[in-house]
Amino acid sequence: MAANSPTTTTRKEGQFLLLGRYEIGKLLGHGTFSKVYLACNAKTNESVALEVIDKGQILKGCLISHIKREISILRRVRHLNIVQLFEA
């Protein structure tokens, strides 16, 4: 994502705010369609895992309905062993 994109704000060298809120940290893991980063909510200083989905891969694989379903489920589920969805 470009630093001058409307969803990013320039921060210290090498850092930026994603969606105007999250400072992106180290890469925690990756898969075919997304990468998960350690991030920090700049307003609350809370650590979060941030999944960044590769839009091109999703469109190429026709998986939009799969992603929408996953978001719908995560919005409703509350369990200690399942990550909580804060926003999508």
Domain-wise residue ranges, the chain: 8-76
Residue 40: the pLDDT is 94
What letter does residue 64 receive in the DSSP assignment?
A: H
CATH superfamily of 8-76: Phosphorylase Kinase; domain 1 (3.30.200.20)
Write the pLDDT tens digit of every residue in 42-67. Answer: 899 999 999 998 988 888 877 888 88
Distance CA(55)–CA(65), nearest Å, equals 13
With H, G, I as helix, E, B as strand and everything else as coil, classify residue 67.
Answer: helix
pTM greater than 0.75 (yes/no): no
